[in-house]
Chains A and B, each alone.
Chain A
Amino acid sequence: DAGVTQSPTHLIKTRGQQVTLRCSPKSGHDTVSWYQQALGQGPQFIFQYYEEEERQRGNFPDRFSGHQFPNYSSELNVNALLLGDSALYLCASSVSGTKYEQYFGPGTRLTVT
């Protein structure tokens, strides 16, 4: 049973560019959440997708957008990259309406130069 997978593993972009990160949830999970983890900090909630819609959003600008596909996989898009967007981006999947823990993927390390 594959866990949460994310691609790519590492990414280097230039300021002002756009980036797309991808996530496949754990089998049987229908909810995908995205978190940003800056160096030396805990993860910060970006947004959550359920039934192909954004269900919740954290305190992140509109430059951060996402999508969920019918197979529950998800994308995180960041436009007009800033140096401060450099971070580890974690995807987590869970089953909506249960107390089950969120399972996290290995993350995508984004470096903006």
Chain B
Amino acid sequence: AQKITQTQPGMFVQEKEAVTLDCTYDTSDQSYGLFWYKQPSSGEMIFLIYQGSYDEQNATEGRYSLNFQKARKSANLVISASQLGDSAMYFCAMREGPYGNNRLAFGKGNQVVVIP
């Protein structure tokens, strides 16, 4: 069964606007972590933001924020003030279990294209 679901089609975003990328997850663990990575055309996965299942506050990292709704099992990424360099694939990932387990399950990704 798929653990991470990202179903949005490719998105075109106007420069300087905000964009929200949807991610839902499936787990029966109480302790887990949620990550968002950016993958530009070069292929390297770039870490953006992390949310732990016990974190009460939504995570923020600069222009990135994670809208964590635990009861709905969603972890949406919000990119504010989009820049041309934000054009990339974005992957949501989950680490199940405690910190000792660093195995990640990834979704299929969201394509974002920022237009001037």
List the A side residues contacting B25 at CB < 8 Å: none
CA of A98 to CA of B44, assembled, Å? 22
Other-chain contact of A45, B35, B46, B91, B103 (Cβ < 8 Å): B103
A-B contact pairs, 9 of them (CB 8 A): A42-B93, A43-B106, A92-B45, A94-B102, A101-B47, A104-B37, A104-B44, A104-B47, A107-B43
CA of A109 to CA of B41, assembled, Å? 13
A81 to chain B, nearest CB (A): 20
Q: Any chain B CB within 8 A of the CB of A88?
A: yes
B43 to chain A, nearest CB (A): 5
- Interface pair B47/A45, CB less than 8 Å apart: no
CA of A92 to CA of B35, assembled, Å? 14
Q: A43-B45, A88-B43 are in contact. Are A102 and B99 (CB under 8 A)?
A: no
- Interface pair A104/B102, CB less than 8 Å apart: no
Residues of A within 8 A of B (CB): 31, 33, 35, 40-45, 48, 56, 58, 88, 90, 92, 94, 96-99, 101-107, 109
- Interface pair B33/A56, CB less than 8 Å apart: no
The 5 closest A-B pairs by CB, nearest first: A42-B106, A104-B45, A101-B47, A107-B43, A106-B44
- Interface pair B108/A48, CB less than 8 Å apart: no
List the A side residues contacting B99 at CB < 8 Å: 97-99
Q: Any chain A CB within 8 A of the CB of B50?
A: yes
CA of A88 to CA of B37, assembled, Å? 16
Please report which residues of chain B, range 9-57, place their CB below 8 angstroms from some CB of chain A when the two chains form the complex: 33, 35, 37, 42-47, 50, 52
- Interface pair A33/B44, CB less than 8 Å apart: no
B81 to chain A, nearest CB (A): 23
Other-chain contact of A102, B52, B104, B107 (Cβ < 8 Å): B104
List the B side residues contacting A99 at CB < 8 Å: 33, 50, 52, 99
- Interface pair B107/A42, CB less than 8 Å apart: yes
